[in-house]
Structures are given as structure tokens and as C-alpha cells.
Structure 1
Amino acid sequence: MGLYDFSLYDLIRRNAGCFRNRTAWLESDTGEAVTFEQFKTRVDRLAAGLQQAGIKTGDRIGVVGKNSLAFFQVVGAAAALGAIVLPVNWRLSEDEVAFNLSDGAPAMVFVDDEFAEMVQGIRSSLPSVRRMANLTDAGPFDGFAGLMVDTPFSGTDVAADAGLVIIHTAAVAGRPRGALVSHANLLCASLHLNHCFGLSDSDVHLNLLPLFHVAGLFMAVNAFHAGALNVNMSRFDAERAVSLIQSEKVSVLFDFSPILGAILDAQQKSGDDITSLRAVMGLDGPETIERYQRTTGGCFYNMYGQTETSCLTTMGRYDDRPGSAGRPIPMGLVALVDDADNPVATGQVGEITLKGPMVFKGYWHLEEDNAHTFRNGRHHTGDLGRFDEDGFLWYAGRKPEKELIKPGGENVYPAEVEKVILDHPAVERTMVFGVPDPRWKEGIKAVCVLKANMQLTEKELIDFVGGRIARFKKPQYVQFVESLPETDGRIDRAAVKALYGGENA
């Protein structure tokens, strides 16, 4: 620790000197702007206040809030103290928020006014929490400004390998897992993204993905790292996004379908100039990607990654190999292996594994899961792919034990949705899986067998699920059938998908 370490707080200090009076962050809702030097001053004041409140190295700090300057300051102050940020997906249900917070056992939680009532309702289930605070100066908890003190901040020596953030992944086997990402993971990802985009201090990033998401947080840090401007949106609105792209000359953003398509539709109506948008990275369909490139003259970058790989594993320009996920990142050794962990031949499908500084620190307090994931010295993603002769990765789905649905960039495990559906008194059996969806790229479908003499409509079941877990996890499609095909007494998932998983879901 020390001579060879570099933390996120070290980056904040470095940029305060390199880009002193350049604007680092702009709140699009209020127009509030801070320079890189002012941002460091704010982070120091908050870190000093948290230090006085007893926050120390290794403590977790929960955040339940939408994108804001205050949220980004909390990340910076935690980095300065060696504390770990625990951002929570506010789209989750109350019970899911309670689980994620309880799992991380935070000493302190910051909350938006919008979510204060919900967090108050689960306060009794969070025995680790010593203090609650608002992300503004309104609300039932301690005001944000009151935590920022003028006492000089006595810095903490933080190792690059120390944990910085815990991001909970989708619920596999019935429970989410907290992925612990280090300072080094985040900064290495930032350098990769800078390399990919050719980012500089003349760029402008539209910060529209939520900071609880690995892509949202890492893109904000990536722009900050380069000395670029982060234009923050607390809530995505396509028309507002188009207006900001034109007025602020936004040059980069991260896209999950249907974000980019909605922006292009809004631009077509408004006629605003969005040709400054020179680079977009993410996941989308070829029609939207090519439409974006025709409209702006910009470049779309395909990628493959996970929270566990610090957002990135492969990346590349769409035009270099349309449909692929690009080539392995410069500091990532990607291998495709069979079930015995033997490498597969070029052109053959195997599990995507990664070795290198982008691999996360492990799942929070889940040692058995970590041993399985990191077996034989590699991170096993649970995803499948194949390499072509030129080294481009082609995504080929997921291993059966890690079946996952990704509507609009969110992760949903079928087992979690199936468990809720089976709680309905009219449902005897069910299987949930992903199907093509024109808006979300991948939609959620439930095929159900009802109990004898029971009746249930599609809408009733969808509303039932949406009332018990996050609404983005509810099925968009429901089909009732007389029976489900079986193999050895268990639902034959492949057969169900073949029967009911076509384009016309």
C-alpha cells in the first residue's frame, strides 16, 4: 500500500490540478456546475464530515437515489476514506431494496427524498445502519450540506486493490449477489474506455444511465478521468436528451436498447442537431445502430461484459465486424472453454472466461460461489461465445445454470420470476425465459399451467408479479397451456423454448 497504489481519490486529486477550472459536472435539471477543483473541495469536505461521523476504512455506505452531483460526491468521499459504496437499484421492490442493503450491512445510508418513505419503512431491518442522511437538504434525515464540514480532511492511505463499490447482480438461485469491485478495477476499466473512445478533455458525456448500474458509474468516472464534462440527467427523457446533445455538444454516451432508438425518434421530430454525438457504446440492434451512424456520422462500439468483469471483456467498432462483440480488451486474456475447462477450437462455442485486472474481487461473503466462479485461475462468466478466425467474439447465449434475461440492460434470472408466479394460487407450473422483443431487445415470457378449475388472465398474472418484485422483472408475455414437456420429471426447458419462444411470442 502506498508507493505503487492509485485510488479513485488520487484521480480526483490529480484532476483538480490538471483540469482545475474546467467544468467537471453539470446538473441539467438545475444548471448547477462545478469545476474539477471545486469537486475535490466538496469531496474533501464530505469526507471530513463522514470521518467525524465515524465512517472508516472498509465501512459500507448505502445510496438509494437517482443520478446527482451529491451521489457522485458520496462515491468520491467513500474513495477518500477507503469505504465501500453500496448503490441500490431504486427500481426494485421494497423487500428487494431491504435485502440488498441488509446484505451489504452499511454503517450509513444516503437517500433521495423520493425514496425516503420506503427506506424509513425498512429501517428496522437494517441493524448495521448507524446514521441516515439525505442527498439533498430536505427530507426526514440529516441534510447533505450539514455533513460537509470545513475541517481539513486527514487523508487515508487506500490500496488500489481495496474494494470501492458493491453492485448487486440479478437474483440467481433466489438471491442477488453483491459483486465487489476495486479501485484498480474501476480505473483500469476507465483507461480501456478512454482507449476505445479516444476520449479527451474536449468531450462531453451525457450521464443518463443510473449510477447504481456498472455502466452508468463507470462511464461517469471514465469521462471524469479524461477531464471531460459529465452532463447529468437524473431521469432519462428522450426529448430532453436530444435538447442536451444539441446545446451541450454531447459527444459520447452508453446505450442499452431502447435508449438510442428513443433519442433518434425524438430527434426526427424536433430536427435538433445531434451530429456532435460521435461515439456510442452499448448493446442495440443493427437497424438502430446503422440509423444512428447515418444520422450523426458517428461510430457505434459493440461490447461484451458484466459487472464481474468491471463492465468490459471485449469491445470493437460496429463496422469492423457487424454483429460481433468486438475483440478482447488490451488487458484481458479471454479464453473459451468446455465443461472440463479445456480450450475449444476457433469457431466452436465455449464458456467465456477472463483473466486480468478487470476481474472483480468476488461476491460479497459468498466464498463457495467465488471458488466456483474463479476455478482454475479464471473468472467464469456463465456466458457462451465463439471466436472467428480474426479474433472477434460472437455471443452465443448463456449456460443453462446461468440462464439470464436482459430487458433494456437489466438482468433478470428466470428462477426469481418463476418463484413469484408459483406463489399465485391459480398457477400449477411455469417456465420463464427470454424472447425477442422489438422495444427491449429481449423480453420476458411466462408459459403457465393452471390448476384444475382455476382461471387467470394474462394481465392479472403480470400485475401480480409486478406487485411483488421490481416491475422490470414482470413478464411482457404470458401464455397458458395444458401441460409443459418434461424430461426425467422436470420441465424440459429446451423443448418449451422451441415450442413457445419464437419471434411471435
Structure 2
Amino acid sequence: MGLYDFTFYDLIHRNAVCYDGKPAWFEAETGATTDFSAFKTQVDCLAAGLQKAGIRSGDRIGVVGKNSLAFFTLYGAAAALGAIVVAVNWRLSENEVAFNLDDCTPKMVFADNEFGETITSLRDRLPSVDRFINLTDNGPLDAFDDLLDDAPFSGEPVSANDGLVIIHTAAVAGRPRGALLSHANLLCASLHLNHCFNLSPDDVHLNLLPLFHVAGLFMAVCAFHAGALNINMAKFDADKAVDLIAAHKASLLFDFSPILGSILDAGEKNGADISSLRAVMGLDTPETIERYRKTTGGCFYVMYGQTETSCLTTMGRYDDCPGSAGRAIPLGRVELVDDADNPVPPGQAGEITLQGPMVFKGYWNLDKDNDQTFRNGRHHTGDLGRFDEKGFLWYAGRKPEKELIKPGGENVYPAEVEKVILEHPAVSQTVVFGIPDPKWKEAIKAVCVCAPGQSVTAGELIEFVGQRIARYKKPQYVDFVESLPEKDGAIDREAVKQRYGGKQPGNS
């Protein structure tokens, strides 16, 4: 540790002293509680074992698993060594998992029992991996406990600017990009969130978003940073979430529609008291937000951000300006620019750009992409927004080159879905785009032209896609048409969206 450095491991050390004996983590599945000092001991044992096994600063460690204490401990141990966690979305297909891991050439891979067979089948496709380890007690891989070493741990210096985690963003033109985030990114985001929520050691965070997701990881860390308790759910279930909120007086969670709505439904059905839920941040409909406020009296916090901006670019209270995404974060210079990177005036839409300590380190091994996104000394998000006279950001969609769909908080690029649809022999042309959806905020629609003499049903095509890439990327709606509108000899995507987008039959 340098004189001016502070890392995630330093935070773990600090909290073991400040909150010795105070509960830090509760596993909902087992009922086990771990306090802050015991957590540091577990981190040190794992770090010592990883060090003995040859993990050094800058090495990558892959992990495919549901939320667990072991997963969170792995983040801590990697932080102690200066290693980088490659957190893989377990909802991906086998081929997608293989790509994301191999893209970062990890020396070790950890996996839950549930994904042990998948990882075992990928051994030959991951030549960089020396060892495959169970993230849980039993499974087809090497035992987790055998890796632990209770010898005194002594790590090498780690910088706050060193990488800590790689999270792959949605595939652009069919290729996912690994966003590298540093210790400084993580801790700066944590302090922003703590400031926003006014967190204290008395708070309780319901940790229901996956730890492979930037919001899931950063919310868990912000609660840990504040000395609050993380109530961990391996997988979201609304009835179980309501029970945990009521039993532990949970005060905080992050929401992507339809999470909050399903919690409110379950609370009403079960007659549970969820009034302790004083702070919710995320993306949801005005109707759900208002229902939450009336049910709990709590505050809903809005935000705009992406993995590349350490989750946050703007944030604020929903009540301050309903419909907006809040104001620029305290340590962020947010500017809206035109195509020539000139600032646009208030009220005019421009590309959202960010400068400051929340900007990620770059895409893993993609120098040309980094040159493009970091041009002129700003991170270019590819999203559009406008500022009003009071400095509130109003989201205004995406730039044409960044046609991104966000069903339930996940990122899906149309090009990736179109590529798979066109692998079906019955489809000759397709356009995929996002449409408004009352449950998921945004749903995926495909408009297709069948090849001469060929046919396929919507259900068959949806299942075809779901078997080849992550199922959350499959279309919810499919239209078959005789032809697609063209402009200058190419498919006119905007015309397709205008003609076949909007509210869908049965979508209320």
C-alpha cells in the first residue's frame, strides 16, 4: 500500500477494527452470520491460499456463481493480492461463459455446484486456467476449503488504481467487452452511495442483485463500507425477500423493474410489514414508485449510469424532480456534447459524457474501443440526455450506433440477437429493437422476413434463440412480414421501428 493508496482490502482491514464483532453478512439460505473481524480472517486465509497457489498481482480469477459469502470473500482476497476477479453472468449460455472467461485468460476459475458441470465441460477451451475450484463445499471441482491457508498473510503493495474486477458488458456487433474497474472506482462509488442514502451501521441492505452485476457488487460494498449488515440472497424470490425485510428490518435495496413491484405484491399478499424499507434506488415506473412511497413512507432514488461509470453518473431523490435521473454526482463532471464534442446548451439533447474518478480503466485488450470512448479526455457513454435549467438530467435515448435494449436491467445489443436469428434457416432478414414494456421497462422485439419456401413460428424462433445465447436475450415479440423497408439499398431500421414498435397487442 502506497502512502496515498486505499484499496478494498484496506477497507476490510479498517472495518475489522471499527466494527469488531458486529454482523457484516447474513446468508439467507443457511442462516449463518459472519461479523466484520471474522470476514477479514476468512479473506486472509483465502488470500494466503491463493498466493501459495501462485496468484500474483494482475492475475485474473474467474468466478461463475450465485451470491454467497464465498463469492464476496473472493473479491476481498483478490483485492489483498492485487488480482482481478472476472465476474461472469451465470445466466449466459455455455459458449458465452467460455468467451468471457477465455477473453481474460484467468489462472483460476471458481464455480458453484450448479455450474460445476458447465465449467468442467469447458476445461479444454480455457488453456490459461491452472486450477478449477468449487465456490461451495461440494462439487466436481477442487475443494474450496483445501485452498485456505491459516498462515499469516503478507501481501505485496496494491495501488488504488489497480484493477479489481472485470465485468463484461453487452455484445457490440457480437463481441462482449470486459470493463475493467479499479479499487478507486469501487470505493468512490461506495462513498457516493453512502452519501446519497445517509447510511449508518444501523442500516440493513437486502443484497438481491447478483455480484457479477455492477449494481449488485457496489451496493454490497457500500453497505459493508458503512458498517451495515448485508442480507444475502443467492437468487431473488419475492416472498422470501419480504420475509427477510420484515425479519431483519431491511432498510435498503437496489431495484430494476419488476423487482420492487413483486416485493410490494408479496407484502400485500402475506400481510408483511416492510415499512423499514426507507431507501430504494433504481429504475422503475412512476406507478410502482408511488405505490412504494405510500406503502413504506420511504424515499426512492433515481440515477443514470453504466458499468463503465462505476454504476453512477447522476443520482438524486425521485421527489426532487419526478421523471429525471437526478443531478451530476459530487465527484463527476457530466457534460452533454454534440457529434463534434462541443457542449450543448440546457434543454438541448447531447451525448452524456463523464470525467472523474468514477470512469472505468477501459475495455480489456480493446485499445481501439478505448481510444473511441475516451476521445478528447471524456468517457462517451453513447447515451443521450438533456439538462434542464436546474441541472437535472433527462434521459433522451441512445445514439444510433449504440442501439441497446435493457430488459429488467440487463444489457442486450440488437446485433447480437440478430446474428443468432439469422442462423435459423427459415429467416432471411431481421431487425431487432426495444419496445416499451410495463413489466420489464423494455422488451425485445424481432421483425423477420422468411426465406422463400421456409416457415417458422414465433414460439419456435424464440426458443431457437434462447438455446444459443442467454435466455434474457431472446425476443418476447416476433412479427413476420413480407418485406422490410429499405433506404439507399439497406434496411431502414428507423422505419421498421416506427412501423412495428410501440405498444404491442396484449401489452398493457
TM-score range, shorter chain: over 0.9
Query: Separation in 2 of the partners of 1:125 and 1:161?
Result: 31
Q: 1:356: how far off?
A: 0.2
Name the residue aligned to 1:240. Answer: 240
Instruction: Give SS of 2:172's match.
Output: coil
Instruction: Give SS of 1:176's match.
Output: strand
1:450 aligns with 2:439: no
Q: 1:140: how far off?
A: 1.5
| Counterparts of residues 222-261 of structure 1 (less than 5 Å) | 222-261=222-261
Q: Deviations over 1:306-350 (max 9, x none)?
A: 000000000010011011000000000000000010111110000
Name the residue aligned to 1:316. Answer: 316
Name the residue aligned to 2:73. Answer: 73
Q: 1:494: how far off?
A: 1.1
1:155 aligns with 2:155: yes
| Counterparts of residues 421-460 of structure 1 (less than 5 Å) | 421-460=421-460
Q: Deviations over 1:443-481 (max 9, x none)?
A: 000000111121111101000000110000000000011
For 2:481, give the aligned amino acid: V
Q: 1:173: how far off?
A: 1.2
Q: Deviations over 1:410-466 (max 9, x none)?
A: 000000000000010000100000001121110000000111121111101000000
Q: Deviations over 1:362-383 (max 9, x none)?
A: 0000000000000000000000
Query: Separation in 2 of the partners of 1:297 and 1:249?
Result: 14
Query: Separation in 1 of the partners of 2:342 and 2:158?
Result: 38
Q: 1:496: how far off?
A: 0.8
Query: Separation in 2 of the partners of 1:418 and 1:199?
Result: 44
Q: 1:490: how far off?
A: 1.3
Instruction: Give SS of 1:115's match.
Output: helix
Instruction: Give SS of 1:449's match.
Output: strand
1:274 aligns with 2:258: no
Query: Separation in 1 of the partners of 2:360 and 2:64?
Result: 23
Name the residue aligned to 1:218. Answer: 218
Of stretches 147-156 and 397-406 in structure 1, the one that deviates more from structure 2 is: 147-156
Name the residue aligned to 1:9. Answer: 9
Query: Separation in 1 of the partners of 2:75 and 2:184?
Result: 15
Instruction: Give SS of 1:401's match.
Output: coil
Name the residue aligned to 1:412. Answer: 412
Q: 1:491: how far off?
A: 1.2
Q: 1:141: how far off?
A: 1.6
Query: Separation in 2 of the partners of 1:441 and 1:392?
Result: 21
Query: Separation in 1 of the partners of 2:504 and 2:313?
Result: 32
Q: Deviations over 1:189-222 (max 9, x none)?
A: 0000001000110000000000000000000001
Name the residue aligned to 2:362. Answer: 362
| Counterparts of residues 10-159 of structure 1 (less than 5 Å) | 10-159=10-159
For 1:395, give the aligned amino acid: Y
| 8 Å Cα contact 2:179/2:364 also seen in 1 | yes
1:503 aligns with 2:493: no
- Kindly, what percent of the aligned residue pairs are identical? 75
Q: 1:156: how far off?
A: 2.0
Aligned length: 505
Q: Deviations over 1:4-55 (max 9, x none)?
A: 0000000000000000110000001101111000000000000000000000
Name the residue aligned to 1:377. Answer: 377
Query: Separation in 2 of the partners of 1:137 and 1:237?
Result: 23
Instruction: Give SS of 2:90's match.
Output: coil
| Counterparts of residues 320-335 of structure 1 (less than 5 Å) | 320-335=320-335
Instruction: Give SS of 2:345's match.
Output: coil
Q: How well do the aligned residues superpose, as a CA RMSD in angstroms?
A: 0.7
| 8 Å Cα contact 2:246/2:273 also seen in 1 | yes
Q: 1:489: how far off?
A: 1.3
For 2:259, give the aligned amino acid: I
Which structure 1 residue ranges, 5 or more long, are not aligned?
none
Query: Separation in 1 of the partners of 2:435 and 2:445?
Result: 7
Name the residue aligned to 2:393. Answer: 393
Name the residue aligned to 2:184. Answer: 184
For 2:299, give the aligned amino acid: C
Instruction: Give SS of 1:117's match.
Output: helix
Instruction: Give SS of 1:351's match.
Output: strand
Query: Separation in 1 of the partners of 2:361 and 2:333?
Result: 17
Which structure 2 residue ranges, 5 or more long, are not aligned?
none
Query: Separation in 2 of the partners of 1:125 and 1:330?
Result: 44
For 1:252, give the aligned amino acid: L
For 1:467, give the aligned amino acid: Q
Query: Separation in 1 of the partners of 2:466 and 2:119?
Result: 19
Q: 1:155: how far off?
A: 2.0
Query: Separation in 2 of the partners of 1:492 and 1:344?
Result: 28
Q: Deviations over 1:98-152 (max 9, x none)?
A: 0000001100011100000011111101011001100122012221111111111
For 1:446, give the aligned amino acid: A
| 8 Å Cα contact 2:24/2:34 also seen in 1 | yes
Query: Separation in 2 of the partners of 1:489 and 1:421?
Result: 21
| 8 Å Cα contact 2:61/2:107 also seen in 1 | yes
Q: 1:504: how far off?
A: 2.0
| 8 Å Cα contact 2:62/2:87 also seen in 1 | yes
| 8 Å Cα contact 2:120/2:141 also seen in 1 | no
1:343 aligns with 2:343: yes
Of stretches 449-458 and 102-111 in structure 1, the one that deviates more from structure 2 is: 449-458
For 1:464, give the aligned amino acid: F
Query: Separation in 1 of the partners of 2:347 and 2:483?
Result: 38
| Counterparts of residues 194-209 of structure 1 (less than 5 Å) | 194-209=194-209
1:487 aligns with 2:487: yes
Query: Separation in 1 of the partners of 2:121 and 2:132?
Result: 13
Query: Separation in 2 of the partners of 1:2 and 1:345?
Result: 42
Name the residue aligned to 1:352. Answer: 352
Instruction: Give SS of 1:201's match.
Output: coil
Name the residue aligned to 1:300. Answer: 300
Query: Separation in 1 of the partners of 2:469 and 2:27?
Result: 31
